[in-house]
Amino acid sequence: MPITRIGNEAPYTFNQLGWIADGGTVTDGNAVQAGLDRDGNDGVDPNSEAVSATRNFAFAYDPFDPNTNTGEAPIPGTQTYPGSAFQQGIVTQLFYMCNWYHDETYRLGFTEAAHNFQNVNFTGQGVGGDRVRAEGQDSSGTNNANFSTAADGIRGRMQMYVFTGPSPDIDGSLDADVVIHEHTHGLSNRLHGNSSGLFNDMSRGMGEGWSDFYGMSMLSQASDPLDGIYTTGAYVTYNWFQAPGFVNNSYYGIRRFPYAVKTSVGGPNSRPHNPLPPPR
């Protein structure tokens, strides 16, 4: 069902400019600029944001097989700007998730004083001018995603790639789990030494765990079973492994094992779903 958001509804009244400032018609706002990065130059391509003169960002596309309903590939043979309906759809989703993440973590304390990502800092604390660059279908790679974080006042960069599975290709911008994971790298880096504290292998490993945790917790629902089996990146790894009868990677995702309590057994060889020892 359609979702209507301005961005400053309660309890988000701290967003004085909303998600898109008055008069804006593209996916560019105070917290996030989302667009494509197809031209080979680092950054959101000019005029590549999703656009709507009425600010009704609704685009028809199939997230699993774009060719079926719309007749267009995820990446068109000839790139135009603004992008295809599929591309504007995935940019809209990326913009939505990044803004939602900004608002929810702001409520949890990731504010201007904590070095968050905003173009205009309403409180006068921290340094502005650093809204996130969310780059969909980034042409610098495939089958991955990343978030580059510099000190407060320098824009964070999220690069979301296309996952080149057997068929069809999967767009990373549509996996909310991965988007939240990457955005949390920006959060955890800014909270540790203003982006100077997480560089050795151990701290980077903790960052991976924190990012997985945020993805699972922010997307969880009250009805989710406590002893359930949860993974990271199930959507982007769809159909990646073509063993006989194996068509979906929602068990492993991008990790060696799913997240599950130790007493939850039933994994391979009747072992716990997560047999790894706890950290010491």
The domain spanning residue 69 has which CATH number? 3.10.170.10
pLDDT at 189: 95
Laid out side by side, the sheet with 132-136 consists of 32-36, 132-136, 157-160, 145-148
DSSP state of 161: -
**What pTM was estimated for this model as a whole?**
0.92
**Residues with catalytic function:** 182
Residues whose CB falls within 8 Å of the CB of residue 159, separated by 6 or more in sequence, listed in order: 37, 135, 138, 140, 141, 145, 146, 147, 148
Q: Is residue 64 part of a domain?
A: yes
The H-or-E segment that residue 160 falls in is strand 157-160
Q: Is residue 254 part of a domain?
A: no
- Tokens 């039933």, residue located: 266
pLDDT tens across 204-227, in order? Answer: 889 999 999 999 999 999 999 888
Q: Is residue 102 part of a domain?
A: yes
pLDDT at 80: 93
pLDDT at 270: 78
Look up the domain containing 88 and give its range: 32-194
What stretches in the chain show pLDDT beneath 50?
none
Distance CA 151, CA 209 (A): 22
Q: Is residue 177 part of a domain?
A: yes
- Tokens 């993805």, residue located: 215
Q: What is the token pair recorded at 17?
A: 């400019």
Q: Is residue 202 part of a domain?
A: no
Q: Is residue 257 part of a domain?
A: no
**Domain count for the chain:** 1
